[in-house]
């Protein structure tokens, strides 16, 4: 009888190890490794290591969205490949994911134009305390200074799914 119990416990332990390993692998596969933004259709996708798009969001951009950001206060959202460098839970807007703009190429362009490239570009929710935030809706089309905006509900989800170091590609 003891042998039977030990054998049953060994099988049960083996099953638990296999199930745990499968769950761990699924979590790793579902980790967001890429944020892809398409400015032209105002969409942002979260993409996993397995290549699956797990969520697509409608976004709002800077108030002058066409073209690549080149200078401070131009109202443009950058275009190119960057990284999420910081997660800010206490942003001026509802949470924020700071984008590594300006990169070295952006700085060279700004230097050649003798302008400040700007910075502090984020993916963020709605402005804290605003009527739009209370109603969880965008106040108007393309209302940011160059950031990528989503609703607060969406930002909560994004903030929980994306880690610092995640690659972001912003397409025209």
pLDDT in tens, the chain (172 residues): 665 545 444 454 444 444 443 343 344 445 899 999 999 999 999 999 999 999 999 999 999 999 999 999 999 999 999 999 999 999 999 999 999 999 999 999 999 999 999 999 999 999 988 888 888 888 899 999 999 999 999 999 999 999 999 999 999 9
Nearest to 36 by CA among 79, 71, 93: 79
The token pair at 168 is 């972001």
Distance separating alpha carbons of residues 5 and 117, to the nearest angstrom: 70
Neighbours of 94 (CB within 10 A): 25
Superfamily, domain 32-171: L,D-transpeptidase catalytic domain-like (2.40.440.10)
Residues β-bridged to residue 104: none
Distance separating alpha carbons of residues 123 and 163, to the nearest angstrom: 13
pTM of the model: 0.82
């Amino acid at each position: 009888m003891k042998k039977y119990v030990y054998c049953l416990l060994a099988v049960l332990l083996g099953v638990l190890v296999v199930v745990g390993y499968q769950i761990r692998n699924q979590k790793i596969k579902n980790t967001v490794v890429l944020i892809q933004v398409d400015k032209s259709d105002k969409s942002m996708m979260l993409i996993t290591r397995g290549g699956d798009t797990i969520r697509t969001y409608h976004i709002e951009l800077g108030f002058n969205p066409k073209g690549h950001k080149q200078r401070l206060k131009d109202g443009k959202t950058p275009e190119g490949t960057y990284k999420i460098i910081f997660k800010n839970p206490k942003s001026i807007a509802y949470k924020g994911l700071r984008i590594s703009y300006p990169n070295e190429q952006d700085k060279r362009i700004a230097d050649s134009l003798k302008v400040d490239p700007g910075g502090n570009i984020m993916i963020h929710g709605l402005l804290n305390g605003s009527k739009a935030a209370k109603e969880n809706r965008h106040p108007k089309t393309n209302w940011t200074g160059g950031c990528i905006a989503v609703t607060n509900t969406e930002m909560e989800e994004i903030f929980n799914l994306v880690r610092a170091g995640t690659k972001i590609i912003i397409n025209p």
